[in-house]
Chains A and B, each alone.
Chain A
C-alpha cells in the first residue's frame, strides 16, 4: 500500500470493501434508533439556535443628558379636578419649573366613574387667564392678600393687581389665607368660578399625562388647592378641601412608568422587563386627612433589540406607605408612631440609581456554534451507536457459537 503513493499513507479514513460487510437486524435497529435520536437532537439544536435570549449587563450610568420621562395615569374617585394641583419638586424642595416638555390632562369623572370632559393641567398652576371683557385700566383688588397701597402713583404695568380669579387664589395662597370656593370674590363670581367649583364638588378626577424631567431625586405630588412655593416652603391652600368631608385622596394607579414601554415577545418569562409594579394599585382606605406615598428607585435601562434598535427606558422598585395626618398609631400599625402633620395628598418620591442595566437580545448560539453542535451530535451518536452495534454483534456471535457446540 505504501508503494502506491505518499498521500495514501496519510489516509486516516480507511475503507472496508463491500464483500467484507455483513448486515444484521440488530444493526438495523440500532441505526434506526440512532437516526431517530439524531433527528430529535437536531430539531432541538435548531430550536436552541432560533431561540433568542436576553443578556443583561450591569454598568455604571454615564449618561448626563438623558431626561427622565414620567408617564402617569391616576384616578381619584372622590376628588374634583378643580381643586387638585400637581407639582414636581426636586429633593431640596424647589419646584421643577424647567420641566421642558409636559402634557397632563385632567378628565372629570362623575360619581359613578364616567368620563365627562377633559382639560389641560398645568404644573404649578401659575398661568393666569386673560379676560376680554375687562377694561384696559382695570386693576382688581387682592382683598389684602397683596400690598396694593402704592398702586395709585404707578403706571398700569407696575401696579399690583389681581385681575382674575386665579391671581386672587394665588395671592391668597402666598400669604396662607383660606380661599375656599372664591365666594364674594368679585373676579371669581364674574368668571363663574364659584358656580363651577360648587357644581363639581361631587366629581372625581383622572389625571393622565407625561412629563420630561431632569434626572433628579425628588417627588411628584398631587395635593389639594393652589400651591405657593418659596425657598424652604411649599404650601397648598387646603381651605376648600377641608370644608368638604367627602374629599379624599383614594386613588387607583392605572399606569405609572418612567420612559417608554419595552414590548418584547421574549421578555415575558425571562426578565419581566415591562412590568410596572404600581399598575393596578388600589389605595382605598383612609379618610380625608391621609397621606399616601410611594418611594420609587429608578434604574435606567437600555433595551437593545436584535435589529439594532435601542430603547432607553427605566425600571423601578417601589415601596408604599400611607399615614393619617393626625399621626400616632393606627390599626394597621399598632407599634408604629406615625408623624403628625403634613398635607393630604399622593406623593411619588423618586431616586435615581447609579447603576444601569443593559438588556441585549442575542441569539443563544451562532451559526458556527449551531453547525458544530449538530456535527458533534451526529458524530457522537454514530460512534456510540457503532460501539453498541459491535458489542451486540460480538455477543450474538458468542451465543450462537455456544449453541452450536
Chain B
C-alpha cells in the first residue's frame, strides 16, 4: 500500500477539504473542480454545473457520432471477372401485349430472347400516384442508411395473366441475365426493326410507346432501392415515337456493420426521337447500357473504441482545464473591475480567491 502511495500523482490538499460542505461537493458534478476552488461560492457552483452540462452535451454528441459512424466513399477498379449481370425491369407500355417485341443485343452479337424470360400480362393503363413525368422529376441519390433499410432481395412473381388477354396495355416484368458488356435492351413493336420472322406486323395506328417504368435496375433485384428511372412516366400521342435511354452503370457496394449490399447505380439520359414516313427509324423504347470499370464503395466507418475513449478523455480534460482557467480569469476580471468585496459575494467561507491550488 505504501508503495502504491508513492505513485500518487494527484496529491490532495487535505486541509482544504476538511470542511462541512463535502456533500455539496459530491453532488456538484465534478468533485475535482469543486474542491479545487476551496472556496464554495454560488458563482463557482453555477460554473461547475454549467460545465457539467456542457460535458454531458459533448458526451452525447460524441457517443452519437461514434454509434452513427461516418460515411466513407471509396472507389476501386472492379477486379472480379464477371460474366453476366441481371437487368430487372417492370414496365407498362400502353399497347396490347401481342404487339410487343422485346430483345437485348450487345457487343458480343448475342441476342437474348428476352420474351422468353420476361413476363407479359394484360393491364389497364393508368398512372399510379407519385409517379413522375419529366417536369416534376427529382433525382435524389439514396444515402447509405436508406439503401441499408431498403436492401431487401426479392424475386419477381411468376407469369401473370395470359399474354393475349386483349387488355389495352401490357405489363412487362422480370429479369434478364445479360453479358456484362455494353448492350441495348429494347421494346419495339412486332414487325419493326427486325426483318424476317415476324408473323404479325402492327399497323402504325396501333403503336403507342407511352410507358410507365416502375423498376429498372442492374444486378441483384432490390425492389425498394430507388433507381433514377424508377417511378417515371413518359407520355406521347405520336405513333412513331422512340425513347432512347442511355445508361452508364457503376457497380456500387454499400457496407455497414458487416452487412454488404452489392448493387449497381446508373446515370441516365433520355433522348426522344420522332420518326415519320420519310425519316425512317425504329420506334420503341431503347435502353442502351454500358458498364463503368470503376466501382464505388460506400462504407460506414467508425473510429476504434480505444480512440473513442481517448477522444472522450481528451475532451473532458480540455473542458476541465479550460473551465478552471476561465473561472479564474473571470474572477480576476471581477476583482479588477468591481473590487474584492463585490467578487466575494455569496461565499461561504473566506479564503484567497486567485490562488486556487496554490498556497
Contacts and interface: CB of A to CB of B under 8 A. Distances in A.
A and B interact physically? yes
Interface of A: 1, 12, 14-17, 20-25, 27-32, 34-35, 40-41, 44, 56, 58, 271-272, 275, 277-278, 281, 293, 295, 297-299, 301, 315-321, 323, 333, 335-339, 349, 353, 355, 357, 376-377, 379-387, 389-391, 393-395, 397-398, 401
Given A293-B108, A337-B113, A321 B83 contact: yes
Contact of B179 (A40, A275, A319): A319
A393 B8 CA distance: 12
Nearest to B329: A12
Nearest to B114: A335
A391 B31 contact: yes
Given A56-B76, A391-B26, A339 B4 contact: no
A336 B11 CA distance: 83
Contact of A387 (B112, B310, B316): B316
Interface in B1-48: 1, 3-17, 22-23, 25-26, 30-33, 35-36
Given A22-B11, A319-B180, A376-B314, 15 more contacts: A1-B355, A16-B11, A20-B14, A22-B12, A24-B5, A30-B10, A35-B7, A41-B310, A297-B293, A317-B77, A319-B81, A335-B176, A380-B310, A387-B33, A395-B31
B108 A357 contact: no
B278 interface: no
A301 B292 CA distance: 15
Contact of B110 (A56, A323, A385): A323
A353 B107 CA distance: 17
B78 interface: yes
B83 A56 contact: no
| Residue picked from B3, B14, B291, most chain A C-beta under 10 Å | B14
Nearest 3 CB-CB pairs, A to B? Answer: A383-B317, A28-B4, A14-B358
Contacts of B358: 14-16
Contacts of B8: 23-24, 27-28, 30-31, 389
A401 B22 CA distance: 10
Contacts of A1: 354-355
B108 A299 contact: no
Nearest to B358: A14
A336 B13 contact: no
A380 B318 contact: yes
Contacts of A321: 83, 108, 110, 179, 181
A76 to B, nearest CB: 19
B56 interface: no
Interface string B310-346: 1011111110110001001000000000000000000
B110 A338 contact: yes
Interface string B277-296: 00000000000000111110
Nearest to A279: B81
A40 B357 CA distance: 30
A319 B181 contact: yes
Nearest to A352: B293
B321 A317 contact: no
A40 B320 CA distance: 24
A398 B316 CA distance: 25
Nearest to B112: A336
